[in-house]
Chain A
Amino acid sequence: MSILIDKSTRVVVQGITGNQGRYDTQLALNYGVNIVAGVTPGRGGEEVEGVPVFDTVAAAVADTDANAAVLYVPVSGVCDAVTEAAEAGIRVILATTENVPRHDAVRAVAAARNAGAWLVGFNTNGVISPGKCKIGGIGGDNPDALYPSGRIGVVSRSGGMSAEIAMALKASGHGVSTAVSMGGDRTTGRSMCEYLELFEADDETDAMVIYGEPGTGNEAEVAAAIRSNRLRKPVVAIVAGRFQENHPRGVSFGHVAAMIGDEADSASAKIRLLKESGAEIASSLDEIGQALERRLG
């Protein structure tokens, strides 16, 4: 196993005729990914890298049984593209677009959840289950070098940091079951904890490494799940951004709505919560290997 994607994943690429869509499609095909369709409205009937292009996701699904979608669409179209994929019955939707306006983002998240789809992103560079499948640009032109296969699950709020973590794992003799760049935007389709719950249930994952940052309730939710034993497998956490606490940036709105949400928002607060819950804290990438050894023996 692995989480979200494996050998049975059939990928449709929304926006396949654009530069990034075409480039990533080519790299994914080289990696052996089963890309069965592309979608660009008005370009139905064409082919890109040998992949048939359709006008709508529904048409692509009807013809190819695609069950995962990768979106390379501009920010103005991303909410519609997620909703279209979700309603066409796609199970895993990866939205690479960054800085998606909040209102669009929450609408897309709600549409995906209502349809029972798993939305990864926004601002993700992908998900990789080494040796089985990858969606998005994750791993670049050499996924095998960056992401050797193994038994550690990775969930990162930064796409680049998922690669850095994978390299640190490799250096300490570990590999990856699935690595997820969950999205760097404030609003993401799923929370960090929801990914960890998938890893908890995955019999090919022994432990998880997470990368967190200031802002959002993601890390606090993980700490709560560890405390309540919903997560029993070891979690190694690296949380960046402590320096921000020394530099109050201007003065923000003194509003109750933000006050309620901000209590656990700083990197230090997150590190404290995770540590208290029993997670292993790595203060640099080089410490990840030792932290895993402490817990896995």
Chain B
Amino acid sequence: MNLTEDIAKRLMRRFSLPVPDGAAGETAGKVGELAAEFGGTVALKALLPTGRRGKSGLVRLVDAADAESVATEMLGRETELGLVDRIYVEKGADIAQELYLAFSFSDRMPMLTISIDGGVEIEQVHAATPERIVTVPIDPLKGLRPWEAIDLWSRAGLTGRALADVGRLTSRLWRAFVDLDAEMIEINPLAISGAGDLSMVGTMIQIDDGALGRHPELSDFPSQRPDNPRERLVDEANRSNPGGDARYVELDGDIGLLVAGGGAGLLQHDMIVDLGGQPANHSDTSPAPGTAKTEAVLDAVFSNPRSRSLLIGYNHLQMAPVDRVVEALANSVQRNNVDTSKFPIILRLFGPRETEARALADRIGGITYLPSGTSLSEGARAIVEATRKIVAEHGEGAKT
């Protein structure tokens, strides 16, 4: 989960890390008021949880007196990074030097990335002079102590009075990275003022979704909820049923997918696309106990106006009983009044309690339950053909 800058900076203040004064406004009037309070030059930043805002014109340095009119231009803009509905107003910083500082992960280790060439051109620095960027793994059992951070910054070329302060800040930021269960923290720029004071002017934080459960203080920012109503439905089911999350992402096609086990889902999706089919969504659900999340994904598929068919394609299950999935299907078919003669449903679902699952599918009626041993590619072909047929018979557009 990417945090917006207002929240990221609020958290950094809690760790006694230096960030400029700032606050968020939703109207141009409010932005003008905040700017007047800070006075002088202010930064207006579109509150979108992404990077590259500077390059997209979504960060503007303006005189406080002009803030309201500039905010009027920015608010309501639909950009490639999202809709601008809030602006972060920040006191202008005195910047003599810009550094880059980030914590992230490689596959197996936390990583520190630093450079004395921070700022918006950091990607170019990386491309042109990679040696100006120092990347080192951090031993997660030992952490990053101040003197180690000082040594690393010295290797990156930082000298003089700033070295000690930057080293200590880096070590403190490591603690924040761990305590917040962040997957990534990027400070760009980390500004050094003419007087030698540090300020984390650009602060991006990405929290590890897998750790949100132990951070109730982070888990409920309304801006993080998906906009799509069906994605939101699945999101809500995840929130009210702890344990392995169901994922549901809508796409532009017409084939609804309830696939599980990660691998089989990816592979079937590739096969469908290769056969000329277009999935209406991707999903990944754990076959773990409880059907609430499976039903949420099924409800989403059935209520998505674009989907015309459904493939339930699981790996050969080794641990979980398959009849639970068909139970969820029966409930969702009934709840959504699905007419299986116009909405083909194909099941590739093998494993423990398959006999019970097949009997239950028979009772729903109109379902194609592929014979045991049918391969993933045969399943993909079956749903692509069934969908083609139903679209040919009943036409494109709204389903009946």
Question: A residues within 8 Å of B by Cβ?
Answer: 20, 24, 75-76, 98-104, 106-107, 109-111, 114, 125, 137-141, 146, 156-161, 163-164, 167-168, 184, 186-188, 191, 211, 213-214, 216-218, 238, 240-244, 246-247, 249-261, 267, 283-286
Contact = CB atoms under 8 A, between A and B. Distances in A.
B295 interface: no
B270 interface: yes
Interface residues of B, number: 74
A218 to B, nearest CB: 7
B4 interface: no
Interface hub of A158, A160, A211 (most chain B Cβ within 10 A):
A160
B286 A256 contact: no
B211 A101 contact: yes
A268 to B, nearest CB: 11
Contacts of A137: 318-319
B214 interface: yes
B126 A259 contact: yes
Contact of B264 (A141, A160, A247, A261): A160
B104 A285 contact: no
B315 interface: yes
A175 B351 CA distance: 20
B105 A106 contact: yes
Contacts of B133: 256
A161 B264 contact: yes
Nearest to A100: B210
Contacts of A141: 352
Interface in B23-58: 50-52, 55
Contacts of A125: 318-319
Contact of B318 (A110, A140, A211, A255): A140
A181 to B, nearest CB: 10
A209 B270 CA distance: 19
Given A241-B270, A285-B376, A286-B375, A102 B139 contact: no
Interface hub of B249, B263, B269 (most chain A Cβ within 10 A):
B263
A161 B375 CA distance: 12
Interface in B253-274: 260-264, 266-267, 269-271, 273-274
B377 A163 contact: no
B186 A255 contact: yes
Given A146-B318, A187-B105, A243-B269, A253 B204 contact: yes
Given A106-B109, A213-B262, A253-B184, A76 B214 contact: yes
